[in-house]
Structure formats: C-alpha cells, structure tokens
C-alpha cells in the first residue's frame, strides 16, 4: 500500500510540477557483433598496400561480416573477385585524398571503378572551392558524381575533410551534398591533420537530418570510439582496426 501511495504521489507531482519531474531517458540497446560489423567499411587505403594485404582485408571482411571493404580504385577489380558471392560491398574513393583533382578526373575514376564492380564511391569534396565560397561549383561537382553513381545503382559519399573546415563550412558542405543528391556525408580521409570527432558527427547529423547517411572515418580504433560515433549520429564507420573492434565485443558487458 505504501508503494502504491508513493507512486500516486509521484504521478501527481509530475503533473503539477513538470519541470521537477525526472525525465525518462531510454538507453540505446546494445549492439551485437553482427550489428557492429555491418556498420563498418573495412578500410585499407595506404598507398603501399600489397595485393596480399588486400586479399587479407577481403578475407577478414568475409569472416566477420563487415558491410564493405574500402580500397583505392586500382584494387577494386581484385576485391570484386575476392568477394564474389560474399555479400560484402566494394567501396572505393575518388579525388582521394586531397579533393583537388579536376571534376573530370573524379568522374573518370568513379566511372572506371563502377564498371569494375564497385557499388559505393567516397569522393573528396573540393575543399578549396568550399572555403572560397564557390558553392555552385561544389554542388555541381557532387551532383555529377551522384548522377554517375546512381545511374549504376551505387551510392555516393562526400568526404568533407572536417579538420580543415570551420563549423559553418562543415554545415554548408553538408547542405550542398544533400542538395546535390549525395547518399552520405563523411568526416575525413584519415590522411589530413585530423580525423572524426563526435562533435563533428553530431553537427553533420543535425544538418543532414535522418534520411542521409553520416560516415565517421579517421582515427576510429576502439569499440569505445565506434560507440561514441554511433551515439553522435553516425550510420557508417570507416576503420582499419575493424577486426579488433568486433573481437572486443565478447568482453564488453555493454554489448551482447
């Protein structure tokens, strides 16, 4: 009876003084190993990576069920052959890592990779043009890449290289990407002065809304790093330490 009275009192107090009533916060459900693996683009973009390393990347992606492998354009054909029938997607890059290539060069890279079997392209935005305020040039370039990708049934992600941008420039880059038809915005190449941060992911998610993907990439090495990015709004993770992250789940009570 005392418990019932107490519960009634708490209900009345919440109705009379809503600001005093404690908010109900539902914790996000833990991710299992398969769910974590399906967030990950298993990445090897180091220019000196040998074929044996690319094959190992593909083998790990098969074994652990990663969403994709992300490799340089010259390795797309090898990965498509290695991953045939596995369900693992082949992702590649265009204008990587500087974004300073001519639009025609980025288009040629994307077209070749798509013809070889890539189904996702991560292009680097023209960072200088974005900082110069040449917004129509930036939008047009993204739109041209999006058209080629979508015409082949592929997805386009736009790498903003957030470490080189102000918050205003990051938000503008996100808006231009959405207007141009990109499927994702992405934080970083991992080859500049910094990588993904939870603050940048949150800003990007707030800007693009719920219907466009946000990929966090660069410096994500641990399961805690991955959790922080997902909690901030990331829907895809680019990482090279992918195997260590999924293996860490077994000993982490926050996951099942």
All domains in the chain, ordered by first residue: 33-251 (3.20.20.70)
The active-site residue, picked from 122, 183, 200, 225, is 122
Could you say which DSSP state residue 73 is in?
G
How many Å apart are CA 76 and CA 89, to the nearest integer? Answer: 11
pLDDT of residue 30: 76
Q: Is 200 a catalytic residue?
A: no
pLDDT of residue 110: 98
Q: Is 186 a catalytic residue?
A: yes
pLDDT of residue 31: 85
Average pLDDT by stretches of 10, the chain with 256 residues: 41 39 48 94 98 98 98 98 98 98 98 98 98 98 98 98 98 98 98 98 98 98 96 98 93 62
pLDDT of residue 16: 36
The active-site residue, picked from 170, 183, 186, 225, is 186
Q: Is 170 a catalytic residue?
A: no
pLDDT of residue 28: 55
The active-site residue, picked from 106, 157, 170, 215, is 215
pLDDT of residue 79: 98
Whether 118 contacts 152, CB under 8 Å: no
How many Å apart are CA 161 and CA 217, to the nearest integer? Answer: 10
pLDDT of residue 5: 36
**CA 75 vs CA 80, 96, 111, 137, 224: distances in Å:** 9, 14, 14, 30, 30
Whether 37 contacts 62, CB under 8 Å: no
């Amino acid at each position: 009876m005392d418990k019932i009275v107490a519960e009634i009192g708490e209900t009345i107090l919440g109705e009379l003084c809503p600001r005093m009533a404690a908010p109900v916060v539902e914790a996000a459900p833990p991710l299992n190993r398969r769910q974590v693996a399906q967030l990950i683009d298993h990445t090897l973009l180091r220019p000196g990576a040998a074929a044996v390393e690319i094959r190992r990347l593909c083998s790990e992606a098969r074994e652990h069920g990663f969403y994709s492998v992300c490799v340089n354009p010259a390795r797309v054909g090898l990965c498509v052959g290695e991953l045939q029938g596995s369900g693992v997607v082949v992702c590649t890059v265009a204008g990587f890592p500087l974004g300073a290539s001519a639009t025609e060069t980025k288009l040629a890279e994307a077209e070749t990779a798509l013809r070889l079997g890539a189904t996702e392209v991560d292009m680097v935005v023209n960072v200088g043009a974005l900082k110069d305020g040449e917004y129509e040039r930036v939008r047009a370039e993204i739109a041209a890449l999006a058209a080629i990708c979508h015409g082949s049934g592929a997805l386009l992600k736009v790498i903003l290289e957030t470490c080189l941008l102000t918050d205003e420039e990051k938000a503008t880059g996100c808006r231009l990407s959405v207007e141009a038809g990109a499927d994702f915005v992405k934080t970083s190449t991992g080859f500049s002065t910094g990588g993904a941060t939870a603050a940048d992911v949150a800003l990007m998610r707030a800007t693009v809304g719920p219907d466009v993907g946000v990929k966090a990439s660069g410096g994500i090495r641990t399961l805690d790093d991955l959790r922080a990015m997902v909690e901030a709004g990331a829907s895809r993770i680019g990482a090279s330490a992918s195997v260590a992250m999924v293996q860490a789940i077994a000993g982490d009570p926050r996951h099942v």
